[in-house]
Amino acid sequence: MDEIALFIGTFDPFHLGHVWQIERTYKFRKFNKLVIAVIKQNPRKPGAINYIHRVELAKLYINELNFPFDIEIVTIEKNGSEEIKSFVKDSIKETKLFRTVGSDSIINIIKDKDRHIDELTMFDYVIGVRDFWDLGELQNFIASLSPEIKANFSYDILPTDFKNHLTATHIRHKPQESFTKGLITKSQLNYIESNNLYV
């Protein structure tokens, strides 16, 4: 049976931190396929550029990589337990499925755990933690979960030298500098500039 990693996010834009998340996840779990699900409308990020641009920026980066697994980029309407359950039921069948997620995203899910209980029990999670992130805060949130759910979590520190500059906010404000630092690709920068994004 194939094992699929599900990576859900706004990806505004897709960048080096997401690539590192994928690489670290693969070290934990040798999955056969990665599904990148771009959220069309994320209530937590109302200022995100149109999802069509975000999908294209993800494709541009992914096309330059050489991973030992298949990658599919799809869209999902919203970021919520019901939408994710529906997406998994309709799109991903007869597979072993787990979710890769950043520490900031999983903390938001756990903070609202009553609303996200189905989502928390639906997957095993591999969490990428930025090295400047307060790891203790993440561990405290995970400790608040039931033993059954807590057993579904593993995490690793992302190997970044960029510290606070490795954020989508920094990239949106300074795309040229972000390209120079290797956070986005030349093709992404060209796309951003030619479509007047993040201005």
What does the pLDDT look like over 24-43, one tens digit per residue? 899 888 899 999 999 999 88
User: What is the mean predicted confidence (pLDDT) over 118-128?
Assistant: 86
Q: Which H helix or E strand runs over 11?
A: none
pLDDT higher than threshold 60 for residue 99: yes
Distance CA 7, CA 37 (A): 6
* Alpha helix positions (H), the chain: 16-28, 51-62, 81-91, 103-111, 117-122, 135-143, 147-150, 168-173, 175-180, 186-194
pLDDT higher than threshold 80 for residue 159: no
Distance CA 150, CA 111 (A): 14
Distance CA 199, CA 176 (A): 12
pLDDT at 165: 54
- Coil vs helix vs strand at 46: coil
- Written as six digits, the tokens of 51 are 């999802």
Domain boundaries, given as residue ranges, for the chain: 3-161
pLDDT class of 123 with cuts at 50, 70, 90: confident
pLDDT higher than threshold 60 for residue 174: yes
Residue 177: closest CA among 149, 157, 198, 151: 198
User: Amino acid identity of 178?
Assistant: S
CATH superfamily of 3-161: HUPs (3.40.50.620)
Maximum CA pair distance of the chain? 50
